[in-house]
Amino acid sequence: MTTTTKTDYDWKKSIPIDQVGVEERVARLNSRSIKKESKIQALKLALSMIDLTTLEGMDTEGKVIQMCQKAMQPHTALPDLPTVAAVCVYPNMVKTAKEELRGTGINVASVATAFPSGTATRKMKLEETRQVVADGADEVDMVISRGAFLKGEYEYVFDEIAAVKEACGDAHLKVILETGELHTYENVRKASDIAMHAGADFIKTSTGKIEPAATQAVTLVMLEAIRDYYYKTERMVGMKPAGGIRKAKQAIQYLILVNETLGEAWLTADYFRFGASSLTNDLLMQIAKQQTGVYQGPDYFSND
């Protein structure tokens, strides 16, 4: 792995991004028409890329256990489906999820670093990171310090990500930029670059707690950042849009974005994830429709 040090990069310099151009590109890609076998393929692929998520203050162990069951067996009527990629929970639920998913190949992801606001001391953030990894998290979803970023303290943001990466050990690090608070595509681009150079394995749009959450335009800007980073270092960084992706149609549009920006190598759960919960059932309904020719009512699909 070749990560560059912060001195290799001039953080003060912004990469120009044309908002109109980004949005036009997204609109054009949205006009792709995915039919027949390629649609079924896309629906199953999307299912296998889901980080099935519950991040509520009122989460219970029972709810997490049920969600893990859903992750393993999304829909009993369709036994041959892929499982989701991971379940994503708060730190206090990591042990529960880990126990439930042991031996299934499904990862446990935990948010950390004072999710969702990220306003805690670095010491606490690192401690929390070490704790969730010790509890069995395979993946850590951290949030960046948006306050520091917007103030222009890019080195602070870089150092923090690098420190969390170190604290992760073998666990994969996803860096949440919370793009809804960054306001411009230039900022999204800069935050993506900082995160990748600091060692992020994935960059992720949002916590899901702030509107707007993931948008296709933001995702495209981040995919283009990943592409430039790959051109430069040959290291593949993954992408995770999260929040607001509820429909199968949207998921397919995201896959098209990935397919035509980064190509086939990124079309795997190793490099692309959806942070979503209700998306799962819409994908299942669409898959069932493709196989049976008719839509079934939502009552035929378990909510968790």
Confirm if 144 and 157 have CB atoms less than 8 A apart: yes
**The one segment of 32-40, 69-77, 126-134, 272-280 that binds another protein by CB under 8 A:** 32-40
Query: Residue 28 or 102: which CB sits closer to another protein?
Result: 28
CB of 19 to another protein, least distance (A): 9
Kindly tell me which residue out of 1, 7, 12, 36 binds another protein, with binding defined by CB under 8 A: 36
Q: Which stretches does DSSP call E strand in 56-152?
A: 86-89, 107-111, 139-143
**Should residue 224 be labelled a site residue for another protein when binding is judged by CB under 8 A?**
yes
Q: Burial code of 229-268, b = ≥16 C-beta within 10 A, e = fewer?
A: bbeeeeeebbbbbbbbbebbebbbbbbbbbbebbeeebbe
Confirm if 139 and 109 have CB atoms less than 8 A apart: yes
**Rg from Cα positions in the chain:** 19
Confirm if 88 and 68 have CB atoms less than 8 A apart: no
**Cα four-point dihedral sign 274, 275, 279, 284:** positive
Catalytic residue among 98, 125, 174, 204: 204
Q: Give residue 180's identity as a one-letter amino acid code.
A: G
Kindly tell me which residue out of 9, 11, 39, 78 binds another protein, with binding defined by CB under 8 A: 39
**Should residue 35 be labelled a site residue for another protein when binding is judged by CB under 8 A?**
yes
CB of 33 to another protein, least distance (A): 4
Return d(Cα 271, Cα 147) in angstroms, integer. Answer: 28
Kindly tell me which residue out of 5, 21, 291, 303 binds another protein, with binding defined by CB under 8 A: 21
The 226-265 site mask, x for binding another protein (CB under 8 A), equals -x--xx-----------------------x---xx-xxxx
**101 token code pair:** 């998913």
Catalytic residue among 51, 141, 193, 201: 141
Number of Cβ atoms within 10 Å of the Cβ of 79: 8
Q: Do the bridges between strand 202-204 and strand 172-176 make them parallel or antiparallel, or are there none, so unpaired?
A: parallel
Task: State the distance between the two ends of the chain, measured CA to CA, in whole angstroms.
Answer: 38
123 is catalytic: no
Query: Residue 181 or 260: which CB sits closer to another protein?
Result: 260
CB of 263 to another protein, least distance (A): 4
CB of 256 to another protein, least distance (A): 8
Burial class (CB in 10 A: 0-12, 13-18, 19+), 66: middle
**Should residue 25 be labelled a site residue for another protein when binding is judged by CB under 8 A?**
yes
Query: Residue 117 or 259: which CB sits closer to another protein?
Result: 259
Kindly tell me which residue out of 1, 2, 12, 31 binds another protein, with binding defined by CB under 8 A: 31
Kindly tell me which residue out of 5, 38, 119, 184 binds another protein, with binding defined by CB under 8 A: 38
CB of 13 to another protein, least distance (A): 11
Return d(Cα 268, Cα 148) in angstroms, integer. Answer: 33
**79 token code pair:** 């036994």
CB of 43 to another protein, least distance (A): 11
Which residues of this chain interact with another protein, rule CB under 8 A?
Answer: 15-18, 20-22, 24-25, 31-39, 41-42, 45, 224, 227, 230-231, 255, 259-260, 262-265, 267
The catalytic residue positions are: 141, 204, 240
